[in-house]
């Protein structure tokens, strides 16, 4: 399946607990959509995590023709808790596919609250990213609490779940399957469907039996010490 066939809404808002790999998914999704011919804007609205930022891949995104909107354009190492006015253009320009990379937890999700009236008028999906390797959300109960808190903070409804369980280059099919089990448990408990799983291309043959589609990714984000 293509990225557009899996992620069918014009606006994809990616949220979840910090450290679940939201930025990795956001960058890969933006690149995939652009590669399929869409006009894409990626909004880096993470005011929580000082490390993994979509804007760190500014050159790669620009080469793909992706418009990058970041909370701080001038200083790439600073956190400025403000939202650029350019975000309104993404929300209102219905010729664009928008990918919004939101900070983890309800604190990071607050940035969306002020735009809730505009967002609900658009074709959007709010995705909750799960990663079974994160201690704070490795149970279905704790993951559901985080998810519901984000909904309450933003005033938006979670559309679907994404299993993004990985260990970067050390990920095995068993890691992805462990995340699939967690995601299925969260889905049963909340009634929210599973949209897809993510995995590096090398792992796809071993995951062909999963019920939901597997969205192929490449590890794009460097660790802070690399």
pLDDT tens for 162-215 read 999 988 778 999 999 999 999 999 999 999 999 999 999 999 999 999 999 999
Is the pLDDT confidence value at 148 over 80? Answer: yes
Buried b (16+ CB within 10 A) or exposed e, 11-37: bbbbbbbbbbbbbbbbbbbbbbbbeee
User: How many Cα neighbours within 13 Å face the side chain of 83?
Assistant: 20
Provide the Cα torsion 184, 189, 190, 192; round to 10°: 20
Please answer whether residues 91 and 98 qualify as being in contact, where contact means their C-beta atoms are separated by less than 8 angstroms. Answer: yes
Please answer whether residues 175 and 168 qualify as being in contact, where contact means their C-beta atoms are separated by less than 8 angstroms. Answer: no
């Amino acid at each position: 399946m293509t990225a557009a066939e899996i992620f069918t809404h014009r606006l994809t808002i990616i949220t979840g607990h910090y450290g679940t790999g939201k930025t990795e998914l956001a960058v890969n999704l933006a690149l995939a959509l652009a590669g399929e011919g869409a006009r894409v804007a990626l909004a880096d609205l993470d005011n929580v995590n000082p490390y993994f930022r979509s804007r760190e891949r500014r050159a790669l995104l620009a080469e793909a023709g992706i418009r990058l909107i970041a909370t701080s354009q001038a200083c790439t190492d600073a956190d400025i808790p403000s939202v650029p006015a350019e975000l309104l253009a993404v929300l209102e320009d219905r010729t664009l596919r928008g990918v919004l990379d939101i900070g983890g937890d309800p604190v990071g999700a607050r940035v969306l609250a002020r735009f809730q009236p505009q967002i609900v008028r658009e074709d959007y999906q709010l995705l909750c990213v799960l990663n079974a390797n994160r201690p704070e959300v490795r149970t279905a109960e704790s993951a559901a609490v985080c998810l519901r808190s984000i909904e309450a903070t933003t005033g938006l409804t979670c559309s679907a779940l994404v299993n993004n369980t990985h260990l970067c280059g050390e990920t095995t099919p068993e890691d992805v399957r462990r995340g699939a089990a967690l995601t299925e448990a969260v889905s049963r408990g909340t009634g929210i469907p599973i949209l897809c799983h993510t995995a590096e291309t090398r792992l796809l043959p071993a995951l062909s039996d999963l019920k939901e589609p597997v969205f192929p990714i490449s590890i794009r984000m460097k660790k802070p010490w690399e």
